Amino acid sequence: MSDDRSLRGAQDRLRVNVNEDHEVRYWTGKWGVTEQQLRDAVKRVGPMAKDVERALGK
């Protein structure tokens, strides 16, 4: 079953899912970073958006 993009809630905004192309596009655009920088930050600090943002210096 595919992910229903119309069903979004607070949890979706709190986490960075680098396995979803649309999320990678969103977060890289929001923070002005490359996909690799985003993936490296998630690998280092985990998927919580506030932690990733801090790790990226944003």
Domain annotation covers residue 3: no
Domain annotation covers residue 1: no
Into how many domains does the chain fold?
1
Domain annotation covers residue 2: no
Domain annotation covers residue 47: yes
Q: What are the pLDDT digits (tens) for 18-50?
A: 999 999 999 999 999 999 999 999 999 999 999
Domain annotation covers residue 5: no
Q: Which of 9, 7, 36, 8 is nearest to 24 (CA)?
A: 36
**Which domain covers residue 15, as residue numbers?**
10-55
- pTM, whole model, 2 decimals? 0.79
Domain annotation covers residue 4: no
At residue 15, φ and ψ (nearest 5 deg) are -125, 150
